[in-house]
A and B are shown apart, each in its own frame.
Chain A
Amino acid sequence: NAGVMQNPRHLVRRRGQEARLRCSPMKGHSHVYWYRQLPEEGLKFMVYLQKENIIDESGMPKERFSAEFPKEGPSILRIQQVVRGDSAAYFCASSPPGGTGELFFGEGSRLTVL
């Protein structure tokens, strides 16, 4: 019974490159959330998706960031033209449909922008 799977665990990009972070929710979960954790800070909500739908993206930066959760395959958080300020840990979480609301977090993807 695998938990939330994120990959890659560590990603290094140079300024201007693209970063793609993938998240497979727990089995049976259809809701995916992305949170960002900057160094020495708490997690900040970015986006909430269900299969093929973005439900709430109020925490996403207006430019360069996008997220999707296709019918088949993992959810993807895409960061275009990365800058040093994008260096952070990106956590994906999932929850069951109509469940208690508990979020189950993955181990995170740590992005370093050189």
Chain B
Amino acid sequence: QQQVKQSPQSLIVQKGGISIINCAYENTAFDYFPWYQQFPGKGPALLIAIRPDVSEKKEGRFTISFNKSAKQFSLHIMDSQPGDSATYFCAATFRRGFQKLVFGTGTRLLVSP
């Protein structure tokens, strides 16, 4: 019940294309859904986050779509660039307890020039 399932495991997108990563959760009590970006040898960095009272949040080229009834959320990277090549993790937690993030297994994105 605490799992967050993430797909695909890896993704190759051409420069300028749209990268889409999907996540599904089970615990309906989760109410905060961040995405983290991790470059090799570095720690994860918060990219964008959403709360379930909205269906979409956009920051620059990054958009989270949230489907509460399906218990799914996804990250869309528009106009993907080689510099976006990294591992992306979705996560979920409770607003009352931010510290206990439940992470997906990660998606390794490669944007080809």
A residues whose Cβ falls under 8 Å from a Cβ of B: 4, 31, 33, 35, 40-45, 48, 55-56, 58-59, 91, 93, 95, 101-108
Across the interface, which residues of B come within 8 angstroms of A104, CB to CB?
46
Min CB gap A87→B, angstroms: 16
Q: How far is the CA of A110 from the CA of B78 in the complex (A)?
A: 33
Contact of A107 among B32, B41, B98, B105 (CB under 8 A): B41
**Is B60 on the interface with A (CB-CB < 8 A)?**
no
A–B Cβ pairs within 8 angstroms, 22 of them: A4-B43, A33-B99, A35-B101, A40-B105, A40-B106, A41-B106, A43-B44, A45-B102, A56-B99, A58-B100, A91-B44, A95-B98, A101-B32, A101-B98, A101-B99, A103-B101, A104-B46, A105-B43, A107-B41, A107-B42, A107-B43, A108-B43
B residues whose Cβ falls under 8 Å from a Cβ of A: 4, 6, 32, 34, 36, 41-46, 49, 89, 95, 97-106
Q: How far is the CA of A105 from the CA of B89 in the complex (A)?
A: 13
Min CB gap A110→B, angstroms: 9
Across the interface, which residues of A come within 8 angstroms of B102, CB to CB?
45
Q: Which residue of A lies closest to B94 (CB)?
A: A101
Is B106 touching A42 in the complex (CB atoms < 8 A)? yes
Min CB gap B95→A, angstroms: 7
Across the interface, which residues of B come within 8 angstroms of A101, CB to CB?
32, 95, 98-99
Across the interface, which residues of A come within 8 angstroms of B100, CB to CB?
45, 48, 56, 58-59
Contact of A103 among B4, B42, B98, B105 (CB under 8 A): B98
Q: Which 5 A-B pairs have the closest CB atoms?
A: A101-B98, A105-B43, A42-B103, A48-B99, A43-B103
Q: How far is the CA of A98 from the CA of B100 in the complex (A)?
A: 15
Is B46 touching A41 in the complex (CB atoms < 8 A)? no
Min CB gap A107→B, angstroms: 5
Contact of A42 among B32, B42, B89, B97 (CB under 8 A): B89
Min CB gap B10→A, angstroms: 11
